[in-house]
Amino acid sequence: HDAAPAHKRILLKLSGEALMGDDAFGINRATIVRMVEEVAEVVHLGVEVAVVIGGGNIFRGVAGGAVGMDRATADYMGMLATVMNSLALADAMHKQGLTARVMSAIAIDQVVEPYVRPKALQYLEEGKVVVFAAGTGNPFFTTDTAAALRGAEVGAELVLKATKVDGVYSADPKKDPSATRYSSLSFDEAISQNLGIMDATAFALCRDQKLPIKVFSIFKPGALKRVVLGKDEGTLVHV
Ligand code: UDP
């Protein structure tokens, strides 16, 4: 038997780039299925799961493809990209036997329901996975900030920031074999050591709201479940 989960409600932040797999852009089917399998494991433990997904695999407003574009316009395109990813994620969840609802910060009535906080809370209580699309709905923000914001709004106990590396290390583990993983760090330590865990706005919001962040890898099999069970996995950033 599994131990009881350490957290009742979590907010999982997935980057858009995680969906690419080894492809150059877009959504890799096998990759999204693997991610959803990890999510399903924790849903089956009875944990309430809210998800924010990025859009960097399709469009990133702040860089690259948007050169020469008006920043706000490019950012709206980035937010629309997150809606596509959210739809793909919810679809993959349904195929995996989960019930998922996409709620968008930008009204696109025929495609997704709008974000309404009490409704999101209701879905979570019903055990449905809620995927928050379109970031915060505002340009000049990121989906990391949307994760912090929605996490605080729905009363998540933990923001789980999925990265390529399985935590925060004392140095780049790819370059320095002596690099060690921090099991936990305070917000102040992360700031003073200039560890870019989330963007500054997201980080400040989590710190103000005393909302801990766990950095972990969504592609390390079982890691998400280990985090939820309160095991020593990834890096916890705490107040
Ligand atoms: N974006 C935005 N406001 C938000 C969230 C996202 O303007 O509240 C735009 C921004 O242009 C960003 C893009 O959407 O570059 C994709 O989001 P993000 O870069 O956070 O995705 P990720 O890096 O997680 O794939």
| Per-residue pLDDT reduced to its tens digit, 205-215 | 999 999 999 99
Percent of the chain with pLDDT over 90: 89
Relative orientation angle of helices 71-95 and 29-43, to the nearest 10 degrees: 70
Q: Copy the structure tokens of residue 121.
A: 């809370």
Per the domain annotation, does 233 fall within a domain?
A: yes
pLDDT value at position 194? 86
Both 139 and 236 in a single domain?
Answer: no
Span from the CA of 61 to the centroid of ligand 1 (angstroms): 7
Which residues have C-beta within 8 Å of that of residue 116, sequence separation ≥ 6? 103
Per-residue pLDDT, averaged over 61-69, amounts to: 68
Q: How far apart are CA 230 and CA 170, in angstroms?
A: 22
Per the domain annotation, does 49 fall within a domain?
A: yes
Both 81 and 153 in a single domain?
Answer: yes
Which residues have C-beta within 8 Å of that of residue 25, sequence separation ≥ 6? 57, 58
Both 96 and 182 in a single domain?
Answer: no
Q: How far apart are CA 61 and CA 65, in angstroms?
A: 8
Per the domain annotation, does 203 fall within a domain?
A: no
State which ligand 1 atom lies nearest to the alpha carbon of 15.
24
118 annotated as a binding-site residue: no
Q: State the chain's mean pLDDT as an integer.
A: 94
Both 152 and 176 in a single domain?
Answer: no
Q: State how many domains the chain has.
A: 2
Cβ of residue 134 lying under 6 Å from some atom of ligand 1: no
Q: How far apart are CA 144 and CA 204, in angstroms?
A: 11
pLDDT digits (tens, 9 = 90+) for 10-31: 999 999 999 999 999 999 999 9
Pocket test for ligand 1, best of 132, 140, 142, 164 (most atoms within 8 A of CB): 142
Q: Copy the structure tokens of residue 223.
A: 């890691």
pLDDT band at 61 (very low <50, low <70, confident <90, very high): confident
Both 81 and 145 in a single domain?
Answer: yes
pLDDT value at position 66? 62
Task: Give the closest residue (by CA) to ligand 1 atom 13.
Answer: 78
For the residues of the chain, what is the DSSP string, one character each? -PPPPS-SEEEEEE-GGGGGTTSSSS--HHHHHHHHHHHHHHHTTT-EEEEEE--TTT--TTSGGGTTS-HHHHHHHHHHHHHHHHHHHHHHHHHTT--EEEEESS--TTTSEEP-HHHHHHHHHTT-EEEEESTTSSTT--HHHHHHHHHHHTT-SEEEEEESSSS-BSS-TTT-TT--B-SEEEHHHHHHTT--SS-HHHHHHHHHTT--EEEEETTSTTHHHHHHTT-S-SEEEE-
Span from the CA of 141 to the centroid of ligand 1 (angstroms): 7
Per-residue pLDDT, averaged over 149-158, amounts to: 98
Q: Copy the structure tokens of residue 175.
A: 């370059």
pLDDT band at 2 (very low <50, low <70, confident <90, very high): low
Q: Has residue 64 got a pLDDT over 60?
A: no
Both 135 and 28 in a single domain?
Answer: yes
Residue span of the structural domain in which 55 resides: 1-162
State which ligand 1 atom lies nearest to the alpha carbon of 136.
8
Per the domain annotation, does 224 fall within a domain?
A: yes
Among 224, 193, 191, 223, smallest CA distance to 207 is for 191
The answer to whether the CB of 102 falls within 8 A of the CB of 113 is yes
Both 109 and 140 in a single domain?
Answer: yes
pLDDT value at position 63? 59
pLDDT value at position 221? 96
